[in-house]
């Protein structure tokens, strides 16, 4: 594979020879497998092989980029790209890319995920585990996804690195009735920590508990958020910490650096840790990945930056490039000290929500939004589940909800699935005074 | 695009013991132009080209794709797809519905060819839009313009003899604005889409639309008042009708949802066999006929043949208030014992073709807007929406108004801040008692499938009136 590194480096040299001020090339070769299933059967199995080189170059503050999938054309495409830069326009906000020489640790990627043997066996294991919790009429569906990717990055400003990234995840939704379902996920960077049985068991347990739901009632509730729904919401919150989102004012964090945005026991990190399905050694500028607190003890500490956005905010890159849009890699909410049962026992009258989808904002600056819980939703009384409900909506404000976090569990779960764009490590969260609405 | 490689992949797949095989190639020359507050953040150009093989063998489906255009790779992906299909181990064997083979070569014309418009001209036009918004007299501190021109070539062949080639130029433009008034802010996002050439910008009137949005949001912050909760008459503008038609008619009528194939991702449907709603069930008033037609000229969702080689035709989804026809690809059609109605779409060569909408809209009626409004004593006109969502059965939905006004004695009154309607699909469509003869479309990107396939669609309709709906 050093051949791929050489080819990647040659493109950077070519761009510089043409006159580019800066050039970054990243070549990736990914092998991905997916099994999709529904109605307790496999629907389709897919394998993708993708070869891709992304080249970004700058010339007199003009930023241009291309994707090359045919290496035979690569040099010509770089020439065309430099031509595009010459007729393009300067970006006065542009602040450069990272420079220097970095060293990276060895990747711990799991090579077995490049060509997953008998992928349907994992699906069957998950469905069987769900079936043990749903003694009759189980209907399960979902997806298994495995990825192994070789990445070669070369920057004219010094960084040069090789990475291998791997991931395996299974998402299963189990139905015990047409309107009673549960969802479970298992995600890992390695096969060893992947547990499809756990995902299936959780989906089945919730589906069975959710039988015979009745319409929920409007009002304000104390709500226990399962790690699955907490993960979806935390991902959206972390995305709004991207400096680019802040600059275009699609963020609740505009002008809030240094302010308390959550109680002091809330700490939210970005950390592309080796366990994560978004594991990586460096960002798209070649800056080594590091753990950083977005919210530390309730205080908004930093936006997520690449070198250019950092310069605009008079700070340092956080290693979250995206060359245009910085992004979170893997969100971790620091655990609390409470056990799950202990948290449930805190609730005299409230709700336990297990999943959501369709989170939409009226106004990203104010944070007014709504989202629709799906799968098991339960009424809690004196810490016990006393009923299954449906047809409700959280119609609230994300800043208000952050400030309303009452407690967090010690237990955390890894969350990533179709609805959650960014992977998270999420505890159960107890939030007070959550506004619930329903159709009339 | 080397068609010989595609044909070779199909031939190789047919050499195995398959019930069906197809090869679909997809090449896109794409650009991405991003302006923030008038400055060009980045200009991207790319060519993505590859093909896939999908095989039905032993009642299972296998899919493999690549972007390496060699005969050896073609054989490798065909072998992989066959192996994956056989490994499915299905108890219920999949079949595809019958269809006649088709041969066609369809193209969408461009009055101004995308490739002939220079990057400088493209940047200048988008910069001009930004300038007009920035100087319109309203404080718009954040303006984000993204433009995505694309030229898409496809070639589809299958084991039944179909050969479909196509060329589709497509333009998309997304604009996000934040308007400030003192300490308050309001935001709007607009999307424009077109199948055809750069002439789209002559038709879209983007600067006028954005200046109007800016003024509306400013007026809302200055004069908008909350709505007093209660039952009232609601008049929905075409943008609101379009989203409702898409979300609460189009999606629940997708047969793959109804049959459960999307159960763990985009969800199921309130329509299912043995349930309260099925073909023939009433879901709205007689005035409600919702159609999806991929052949709307230059529409964002345009196609002549779908991605399984089936000829496109209009689908009458809700007809005079009754559930009439589902969207089908060949897999779901076979399960229901009928023919596909040409609803299979894929966003690229590395995605399977699944059941999708194209251009979904409510059929116009015969009233004018004035006639619709004149006998509304008290009500609300929701011309456009901001936040919206709907449950995964497509029954419980909510729309929050962006540009909204009180109606008093048939006349539009003061602006209303964030009026909200939260009701069921049946309540929404059953309350319709007036439909105008207007028809307007908006572009949207419909999300579905895993991995996600954001597919271009139109949503649209006339202006409609709903009686006695609860609003807050």
Q: Which of A24, A257, A41 is nearest to A138 (CA)?
A: A41
For range A197-226, the mean pLDDT: 98
* B277 in reach of chain A (CB within 8 A): no
Rounded to 5 degrees, what angle do the CA atoms A424, A434, A420 make?
25
- CB pair distance less than 8 Å for A47 and B265: no
Return the number of other C-beta atoms located less than 10 Å from residue A214's C-beta: 11
CA of A200, closest CA in chain B: separation in Å? 12
How far is A243 from B352, CA to CA, in rounded Å? 35
B49 contacts in chain A (CB < 8 Å) = 69-70
How far is B162 from A131, CA to CA, in rounded Å? 42
How far is B381 from B369, CA to CA, in rounded Å? 11
Instruction: Return the axis-axis angle of helices B3-14 and B71-86, rounded to nearest 10°.
Output: 40
User: Residue B179: closest CA among chain A residues belongs to which residue?
Assistant: A249
Q: Which of A54, A57, A395, A352 is nearest to A223 (CA)?
A: A352
- CB pair distance less than 8 Å for A69 and B120: no
pLDDT tens for chain B, 472 residues: list them: 899 999 999 999 999 999 999 999 999 999 999 999 999 999 999 999 999 999 999 999 999 999 999 999 999 999 999 999 999 989 999 999 999 999 999 999 999 999 999 999 999 999 999 999 999 999 999 999 999 999 999 999 999 999 999 999 999 999 999 999 999 999 999 999 999 999 999 999 999 999 999 999 999 999 999 999 999 999 999 999 999 999 999 999 999 999 999 999 999 999 999 999 999 999 999 999 999 999 999 999 999 999 999 999 999 999 999 999 999 999 999 999 999 999 999 999 999 999 999 999 999 999 999 999 999 999 999 999 999 999 999 999 999 999 999 999 999 999 999 999 999 999 999 999 999 999 999 999 999 999 999 999 999 999 999 999 999 9
* B72 in reach of chain A (CB within 8 A): no
CA of A289, closest CA in chain B: separation in Å? 24
* A89 in reach of chain B (CB within 8 A): yes
A223 with A351: CB under 8 angstroms?
A: yes
Structural domains of chain B sorted by starting position, each given as residue range(s) with its CATH number in brackets: 3-223 (3.30.2290.10), 230-471 (no CATH)
pLDDT of residue A290: 94
A364 contacts in chain B (CB < 8 Å) = 187
Residue-wise pLDDT for A316-337, tens only, equals: 999 999 999 999 999 999 999 9
* A228 in reach of chain B (CB within 8 A): no
CA of B216, closest CA in chain A: separation in Å? 15
Does A1 score more than 80 pLDDT? no
* B276 in reach of chain A (CB within 8 A): no
DSSP β-ladder status, B163-181 and B142-158: antiparallel
DSSP string, A129-195: HHHHH--S--EEEEEEEEEEEEEEEEETTS-EEEEEEEEEEEEEEEEEETTEEEEEEEEESSSTT--
For range A304-322, the mean pLDDT: 97
B67 contacts in chain A (CB < 8 Å) = 49-52, 69-70
* B117 in reach of chain A (CB within 8 A): no
- CB pair distance less than 8 Å for B80 and A47: yes
How far is B438 from A281, CA to CA, in rounded Å? 56
What separation in angstroms does the CA of B367 have from each of B25, B34, B243, B428?
Answer: 46, 42, 21, 19
User: Complex ipTM, two decimals?
Assistant: 0.95
A70 contacts in chain B (CB < 8 Å) = 47, 49, 67, 69
Chain A neighbours among B 234-273 (CB < 8 Å)? 259-265, 267-268, 272
3-class SS at B272? coil
* Strands in B37-162 per DSSP E: 39-57, 60-66, 103-107, 142-158
A117 — pLDDT class (breaks 50, 70, 90): confident
List Cβ neighbours of B457 (8 Å cut-off, separation of 6 or more): B246, B300, B301, B356, B357, B358, B359, B360, B443, B444, B445, B446
Does A246 score more than 90 pLDDT? yes
A64 contacts in chain B (CB < 8 Å) = 42-45
pLDDT of residue A2: 67
How far is A422 from A408, CA to CA, in rounded Å? 20
Does A41 score more than 60 pLDDT? yes
* B425 in reach of chain A (CB within 8 A): no
CA of A78, closest CA in chain B: separation in Å? 11
* B449 in reach of chain A (CB within 8 A): no
Chain B neighbours among A 326-385 (CB < 8 Å)? 357-366, 368-372, 374
Does A262 score more than 80 pLDDT? yes
Q: Record the tokens describing residue B370, joined without a space.
A: 């004035």
DSSP string, B407-448: EETTEEEEEBSS-EEEEEHHHHHHTEEEEBS--EEEEEEEEE
Chain A neighbours among B 326-365 (CB < 8 Å)? 350, 352
Residue of B50, B142, B424 with shortest CB distance to A249: B142
A73 — pLDDT class (breaks 50, 70, 90): confident
DSSP state of B375: T
* B66 in reach of chain A (CB within 8 A): yes
Does A268 score more than 70 pLDDT? yes
The burial of B337, by beta-carbon neighbours within 10 Å (0-12 exposed, 13-18 middle, 19 or more buried), is given as exposed
Question: What share of residues in chain A are helix, strand, coil (percent, to 5)?
Answer: 25, 40, 35
CA of B29, closest CA in chain A: separation in Å? 10
For chain A, give every domain's residue range: 2-209, 214-437
pLDDT of residue A206: 98
B398 contacts in chain A (CB < 8 Å) = 370, 393, 395, 437, 439
CA of A305, closest CA in chain B: separation in Å? 15
Which one of A43, A74, A365 would you mutate to disrupt binding with B, by most B Cβ within 10 Å of its Cβ? A43
- CB pair distance less than 8 Å for A366 and B185: yes
How far is B417 from B160, CA to CA, in rounded Å? 57
- CB pair distance less than 8 Å for A324 and B87: no
* A137 in reach of chain B (CB within 8 A): no
B176 with B117: CB under 8 angstroms?
A: no
Fold of A2-209: PmbA/TldD fold (3.30.2290)
For range A371-382, the mean pLDDT: 98
What separation in angstroms does the CA of B423 have from each of A31, B240, B266, B456, B469?
Answer: 45, 14, 20, 27, 8
How far is A413 from A234, CA to CA, in rounded Å? 13
Q: Record the tokens describing residue B64, joined without a space.
A: 């493999």
Q: What are phi and psi of B321, to 5 degrees?
A: 85, 5
* B101 in reach of chain A (CB within 8 A): no
* B452 in reach of chain A (CB within 8 A): yes
Q: Token match 């209009």: residue? A: B314
A144 with B111: CB under 8 angstroms?
A: no
3-class SS at A80? helix
* A305 in reach of chain B (CB within 8 A): no
A175 contacts in chain B (CB < 8 Å) = 263
- CB pair distance less than 8 Å for B264 and A143: yes
Does A291 score more than 60 pLDDT? yes
Which residues are bridge partners to B406 per DSSP?
B380
A237 φ/ψ sector (left φ>0, alpha ψ -120 to 50, else beta) = alpha
Q: What are phi and psi of A110, to 5 degrees?
A: -95, 105
How far is A425 from A302, CA to CA, in rounded Å? 19
Instruction: Return the axis-axis angle of helices A74-87 and B119-134, rounded to nearest 10°.
Output: 40
* A111 in reach of chain B (CB within 8 A): no
User: Residue B448: closest CA among chain A residues belongs to which residue?
Assistant: A418
The more confident residue out of A49 and B237 is B237
A202 contacts in chain B (CB < 8 Å) = none
pLDDT of residue B202: 96
Q: Which of A83, A26, A434, A54 is nearest to A230 (CA)?
A: A434
For range A182-186, the mean pLDDT: 98
DSSP string, B107-126: E---SS-GGGS-HHHHHHHH
B50 contacts in chain A (CB < 8 Å) = 69
Provide the number of CB pairs (under 8 Å) joining chain A to chain B: 236
* A439 in reach of chain B (CB within 8 A): yes
Which one of A358, A367, A420, A436 would you mutate to disrupt binding with B, by most B Cβ within 10 Å of its Cβ? A358
Return the number of other C-beta atoms located less than 10 Å from residue A177's C-beta: 16
- CB pair distance less than 8 Å for B42 and A39: no
CA of A204, closest CA in chain B: separation in Å? 13
Rounded to 5 degrees, what angle do the CA atoms A18, A20, A24 make?
115
DSSP state of B247: I
Rounded to 5 degrees, what angle do the CA atoms A176, A178, A179 make?
90
């Amino acid at each position: 594979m050093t051949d791929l590194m050489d080819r990647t480096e040659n493109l950077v040299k070519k761009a510089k020879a043409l006159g580019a001020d800066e050039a970054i090339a990243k070549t990736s070769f990914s092998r991905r497998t997916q099994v999709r299933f529904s109605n307790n059967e496999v629907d389709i199995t897919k394998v993708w092989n993708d070869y891709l080189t992304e080249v970004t170059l700058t010339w007199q503050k003009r930023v241009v980029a291309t994707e090359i999938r045919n290496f035979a054309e690569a040099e010509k495409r770089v020439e065309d790209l430099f031509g595009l830069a010459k007729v393009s326009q300067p970006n006065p906000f542009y602040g450069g890319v990272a420079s220097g020489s970095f060293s990276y640790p060895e990747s711990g990627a799991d090579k077995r995920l490049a060509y997953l043997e008998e992928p349907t066996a994992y699906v069957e294991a998950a469905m069987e585990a769900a079936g043990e919790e749903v003694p009759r009429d189980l209907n399960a569906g979902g997806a298994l996804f495995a990825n192994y990717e070789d990445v070669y990055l070369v920057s004219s400003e010094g960084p040069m690195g090789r990475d291998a990234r791997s991931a395996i995840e299974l998402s299963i939704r189990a139905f015990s009735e047409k309107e009673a379902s549960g969802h479970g996920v298992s995600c890992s960077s390695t096969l060893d920590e992947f547990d499809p049985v756990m995902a299936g068991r959780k989906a089945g347990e919730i589906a069975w508990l959710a039988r015979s739901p009745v319409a929920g009632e409007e009002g304000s509730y104390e709500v226990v958020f399962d790690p699955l729904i907490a993960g979806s919401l935390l991902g959206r919150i972390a995305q709004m910490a991207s400096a680019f989102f802040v600059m275009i004012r699609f963020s609740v964090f505009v002008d809030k650096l240094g302010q308390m945005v959550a109680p002091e026991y809330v700490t939210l990190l970005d950390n592309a840790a080796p366990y994560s399905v978004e594991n990586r050694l460096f960002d798209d500028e070649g800056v080594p990945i590091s753990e950083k607190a977005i919210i530390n003890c309730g205080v908004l500490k930093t936006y997520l930056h690449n070198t250019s956005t950092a310069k605009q905010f008079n700070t340092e890159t956080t290693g979250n490039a995206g060359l245009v849009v910085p992004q979170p890699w893997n969100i971790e909410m620091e655990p609390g000290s409470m056990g799950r049962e202990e948290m449930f026992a805190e609730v005299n009258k409230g709700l336990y929500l297990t999943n959501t989808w369709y989170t939409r904002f009226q106004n990203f600056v104010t944070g007014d939004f709504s989202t629709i819980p799906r799968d098991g939703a339960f009424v809690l009384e004196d810490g016990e589940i006393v009923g299954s409900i449906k047809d409700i909506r959280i119609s609230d404000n994300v800043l208000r909800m952050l400030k309303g976090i009452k407690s967090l569990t010690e237990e955390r779960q890894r969350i990533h699935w179709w609805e959650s764009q960014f992977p998270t490590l999420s505890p159960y969260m107890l939030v007070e005074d959550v506004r619930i609405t329903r159709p009339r | 695009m080397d068609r010989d490689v595609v044909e070779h992949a199909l031939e190789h797949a047919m050499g195995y013991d398959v019930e069906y095989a197809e090869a679909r190639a997809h090449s896109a020359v794409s650009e991405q132009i991003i302006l923030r507050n008038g400055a060009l953040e980045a200009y991207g150009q790319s060519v993505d080209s590859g093909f896939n093989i999908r095989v039905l063998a032993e009642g299972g489906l296998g899919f493999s794709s690549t972007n390496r255009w060699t005969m050896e790779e073609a054989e490798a992906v065909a072998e992989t797809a066959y192996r994956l299909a056989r490994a499915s181990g299905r108890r219920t064997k999949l079949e595809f519905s019958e269809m006649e083979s088709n041969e066609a070569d369809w193209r969408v014309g461009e009055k101004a060819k995308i490739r002939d418009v220079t990057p400088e001209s493209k940047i200048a036009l988008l910069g001009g839009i930004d300038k007009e918004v920035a100087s319109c007299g309203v404080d718009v501190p954040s303006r984000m313009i993204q433009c995505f021109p694309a030229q898409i070539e496809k070639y589809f062949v299958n084991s039944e003899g179909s050969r479909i080639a196509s060329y589709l130029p497509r333009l998309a433009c997304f604009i996000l604005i934040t308007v400030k008034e003192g300490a308050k802010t309001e935001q709007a996002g607009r999307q424009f889409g077109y199948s055809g050439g750069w002439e789209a910008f002559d038709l879209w009137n983007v600067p006028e639309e954005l200046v109007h949005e800016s003024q509306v949001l400013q007026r809302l912050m200055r004069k908008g008042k909350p709505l007093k909760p209660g039952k009232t008459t609601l008049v929905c503008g075409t943008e609101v009708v379009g989203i409702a038609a898409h979300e609460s008619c189009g999606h629940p009528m997708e047969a793959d949802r109804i049959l459960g194939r999307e159960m763990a991702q985009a969800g199921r449907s309130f329509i299912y066999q043995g349930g309260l709603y099925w073909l023939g069930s009433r879901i709205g008033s007689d005035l409600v006929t919702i159609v999806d037609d991929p052949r709307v000229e230059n529409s964002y969702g345009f196609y002549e043949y779908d991605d399984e080689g089936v000829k496109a035709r209009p689908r009458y989804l809700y007809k005079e208030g009754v559930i009439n026809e589902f969207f089908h690809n060949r897999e779901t059609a076979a399960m229901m014992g009928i023919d596909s109605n040409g609803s299979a779409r894929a966003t690229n060569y590395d995605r399977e073709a699944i059941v999708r909408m194209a251009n979904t809209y409510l059929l116009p009626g015969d009233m004018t807007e004035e006639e619709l409004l004149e006998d509304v004593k008290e009500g609300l006109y929701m011309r456009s929406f901001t936040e919206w969502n709907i449950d995964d059965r497509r029954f419980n939905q909510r729309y929050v108004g962006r540009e909204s006004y009180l109606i008093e004695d048939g006349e539009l009154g003061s602006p209303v801040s964030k009026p909200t309607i939260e009701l069921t699909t049946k309540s929404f469509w059953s309350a319709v008692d007036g439909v105008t003869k207007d028809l307007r479309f908006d572009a949207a990107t419909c999300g579905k499938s895993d991995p996600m396939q954001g597919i271009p669609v139109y949503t649209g309709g006339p202006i409609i009136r709903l009686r006695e709906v609860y609003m807050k």
